[in-house]
Structure 1
């Protein structure tokens, strides 16, 4: 995937650039990193507009903070560096909270808890859960931790096939280059179409956090307050139904347990 490039705001115009070392509360506008190629979560249209659940969540939070917002594409492998360098103020991009990532950036939220599952070809037999991936080719997205939950955490011997993004992974699955794609169920719902199927055997909790610069405790707490309000006023339920009602997933409409901003 190409390096992130600035694009005209999807929903709200930009007024100021991002600068490292300050709180998001001190800014008139926010730059938010989102995905550009994940259907239902973050997609960039040819006209430069972004849309998806993560984009809507980011827009709601910016509105609650009284900020204007624009979006940048945030590939998985670049999310931490984009936050640390000040290229973005926040990252809302299917960004699972992990202990390793928390050594590099801080997280508000989570704003949703997804579950890792597996996508295979529709006619493929013999894969009914993650352990059936033994000795099969699994797509490995640079910067994503999903493959680690299969190969390292569960010690399942798979052959990893590198890829730059999950959209490329799905193309590799359809062409037969890989046997499976395993990542968060919300991501997979956007790619599940003719020729592929979700195994529907979730095996982890993926806490989607909002990446923020380490040390911005006030900004983090303000984002958590906005997330709480998003669930309390019914917006979270509306957005989840808007983007995932047809997926068949069991969606959760209660406020997730926050990590804490300290």
Structure 2
């Protein structure tokens, strides 16, 4: 397993990159926007809450013994988890959620991020290589049999990207008979249900899906709109289509054997929604890059599997 993983440490991240148009009701701005390299979520994290009188659980005891929250995350997903080349820090909405959670549990936002493919998340939660997973991790019934989810903390949809000169796709049915890149798990399942006639071509990483579209090895790529809009916003060789379908509720993945810790994380999500931390984080990451107001955070436990 360790050969598949790389480790990076993030304390207070700065900046993020473009994403999320249809999810928030606005439109994505271009990568040329000066905010692309200068966004900074550290204020939202610094103003986030610290949990008081939290119940003792095995997971919380281990995290406090480590002095850091170990999370499965991304460093290649614009807007949610991306390594900022100017600062060397991981930036985005997901890493901000992880930092807020670390601060809530530890008093300081110390996060150690482990990266890996979508098909490794359940395994590394089960074997305790990480404490949580915050990485555009879609809640599903099949995954919930293996791990627990606190959330959702954001709800995206499934979308479709093609090459700049790729086919015209206006609805998911237009993918019938086409080779479509997907990552294993939720994206693959969503495409199969929405368009069984599409030919799914499975890649472990989102960067591999994007490369397959650019190189013409597939005709389209389907994933949640949080991933796709960010990638398309920073790569002129990719074009976001208007086709959306289904729902992709993002949850915080947790080991399944500590239900008391799940309740702590659920209460954390309620707290950051109520005290404005969630909205501040959105406004300091996604907000400057899309038009329209911040969406309302979803209620924890509001989707099957959460």
**CA–CA distance in structure 2, aligned partners of residues 131 and 257 of structure 1:** 32
Does the Cα contact within 8 Å between 2:158 and 2:223 map onto a contact in 1? yes
> For 1:28-107, what aligned pairs fall within 5 Å after superposition?
28=64, 29-44=68-83, 49-66=89-106, 68-107=110-149
**CA–CA distance in structure 1, aligned partners of residues 126 and 293 of structure 2:** 35
**CA–CA distance in structure 2, aligned partners of residues 111 and 5 of structure 1:** 26
Q: Which string of whole-angstrom CA distances, capped at 9 and with x for unpartnered residues, describes residues 225-248 of structure 1?
A: 111121222222222233333245
Instruction: For CA contacts below 8 A with separation 6 or more, give which structure has more relative contact order.
Output: 2
Q: Are residues 257 and 86 of structure 1, via their aligned partners in 2, closer, same or farther at CA, if it must alter by over 3 Å?
A: closer
| Residue equivalent to 1:22 | 58
Deviation at 1:205, TM superposition (A): 1.3
Does the Cα contact within 8 Å between 2:176 and 2:195 map onto a contact in 1? no
Gap regions ≥5 residues in structure 2: 14-56
| Residue equivalent to 2:189 | 148
2:231 matches 1:208 = no
**CA–CA distance in structure 2, aligned partners of residues 82 and 45 of structure 1:** 25
**CA–CA distance in structure 1, aligned partners of residues 122 and 290 of structure 2:** 30
**CA–CA distance in structure 2, aligned partners of residues 182 and 202 of structure 1:** 9
Q: Are residues 237 and 215 of structure 1, via their aligned partners in 2, closer, same or farther at CA, if it must alter by over 3 Å?
A: same
Does the Cα contact within 8 Å between 2:157 and 2:244 map onto a contact in 1? yes
SS at match of 2:264: helix
**CA–CA distance in structure 2, aligned partners of residues 174 and 51 of structure 1:** 25
SS at match of 1:56: helix
Q: How many residues align?
A: 251
TM-score, reference length from structure 1: 0.86
| Residue equivalent to 2:295 | 252
TM-score, reference length from structure 2: 0.74
2:161 matches 1:161 = no
Q: Which residue of 168, 181, 187 maps to 2:227?
A: 187
**CA–CA distance in structure 2, aligned partners of residues 178 and 249 of structure 1:** 33
Q: Which string of whole-angstrom CA distances, capped at 9 and with x for unpartnered residues, describes residues 69-113 of structure 1?
A: 322114211100100001000000111111111111111111111
